[in-house]
Structure 1
Amino acid sequence: TPMLTTVRQPLAEMGRTAVSLLTRLIERQSFEALHVELATRLVVRQSTGPPPG
């Protein structure tokens, strides 16, 4: 079985960001739409390759 290609996600940073946003929401008791982007990384392993044929 080949090792799978995956996307590495910054889980600790996601958690810290979620807590920060939740704290702001609780303190202000209001909510504004917010878009947050965190960096991910493609980890290419043995399950990635050219199409057959």
Structure 2
Amino acid sequence: MAARIRAGEPITALFAGNDQMALGLMVALHEQGLTVPGDVSVVGFDDVPEAPYFSPPLTTVRQDFAELGRRGVQLVLARLAGEDCEPDQVQPLLLVRRSTAGPRR
């Protein structure tokens, strides 16, 4: 990805697999002379406690990992009891902060 950015490819947004990677992306973009979100929007995943304090504050997806764990255990116990059940989805929450901007024109 960094090579594509250095080559001048018009990338306007990047989604990282977790917030730590998003922070690394923001540092790398800054080192390339690009601004977040002025040139490139960045979104992370996890909503680590520090995310609101990154510079700029990181837009991220919050996943309720405790609820995912509870539902996973319930599903395993149900299957062990011979029940045929489908897993419930846990809805993620998008927390929009200042590392993202609207589409560039």
**For the residues of structure 2 that align with 1:24 and 1:16, how far apart are their CA atoms?**
12
| Matched residue count | 51
List gaps (5 residues or longer) in structure 2.
Answer: 1-54
Structure 2 CA distance for partners of 1:4 and 1:51, relative to 1, 3 Å: same
TM-score by length of 2: 0.41
SS of residue in 1 equivalent to 2:75 = helix
SS of residue in 1 equivalent to 2:74 = helix
Percent identical: 37
TM-score by length of 1: 0.72
SS of residue in 2 equivalent to 1:42 = strand
**For the residues of structure 1 that align with 2:97 and 2:81, how far apart are their CA atoms?**
44
Is residue 2:75 matched to residue 1:21?
A: yes
Aligned position for 1:42 = 94
**For the residues of structure 1 that align with 2:85 and 2:73, how far apart are their CA atoms?**
16
**Aligned alpha-carbon RMSD (Å):** 2.0
- 2:75–2:87 contact (8 Å) kept in structure 1: no
Is residue 2:64 matched to residue 1:2?
A: no
**For the residues of structure 2 that align with 1:27 and 1:35, how far apart are their CA atoms?**
15
List gaps (5 residues or longer) in structure 1.
Answer: none
